[in-house]
A = this chain, B = another copy of it.
């Protein structure tokens, strides 16, 4: 039985995720972070897995399509709510979100994408599978989530590190 060492924080993630976390990705020398409120976590393909969903209209989507990994930073408290709001409503095409929000990158332990250097829980994730949503399978209530038809791509990633910073 493979040890599950990175899933211990599942309850904390569940409590926090819909209030917003930072999804950070680096590709071709560019770094961007966006706010996510959706995620799943678990054990699939003999690996500890983090799944995020990103619309194909997003700048982060462009980076993720060229990246091997991403990080997720869950702020420890509400003091970053303003940054969470900014990074969830503005595009990295128009702003350097790190400058605008006074956020700093910090080198990750095991992936190329950096983490956000704030107190919280950090997941380092290596992309292992992805699937673009097919609207053929959507239940009717999904329609209101996609008025622009900019469906999500689901990125499944192996959690290769998870830790808390004070």
A53: CB under 8 A from chain B? yes
Contact A41 B42 (CB under 8 A): yes
For A38, give its contact among B37, B41, B42, B130 (CB under 8 Å): B42
- Residues of chain B within 8 A (CB-CB) of A137 are 129-131
Q: Is the CB of A44 closer than 8 A to any CB of chain B?
A: yes
When C-beta atoms are compared, the residue in chain B nearest to A68 turns out to be: B139
Write the residues of chain A forming the contact surface with B, with a CB cutoff of 8 angstroms. Answer: 1-2, 4, 7-8, 10-11, 13-15, 17-19, 37-46, 49, 51, 53, 128-131, 133-134, 137-139, 141-142, 145, 154
Other A-B pairs, 11, CB within 8 Å; known A4-B14, A129-B133:
A2-B18, A4-B18, A7-B11, A8-B11, A10-B41, A11-B11, A17-B43, A37-B43, A42-B42, A129-B139, A131-B134
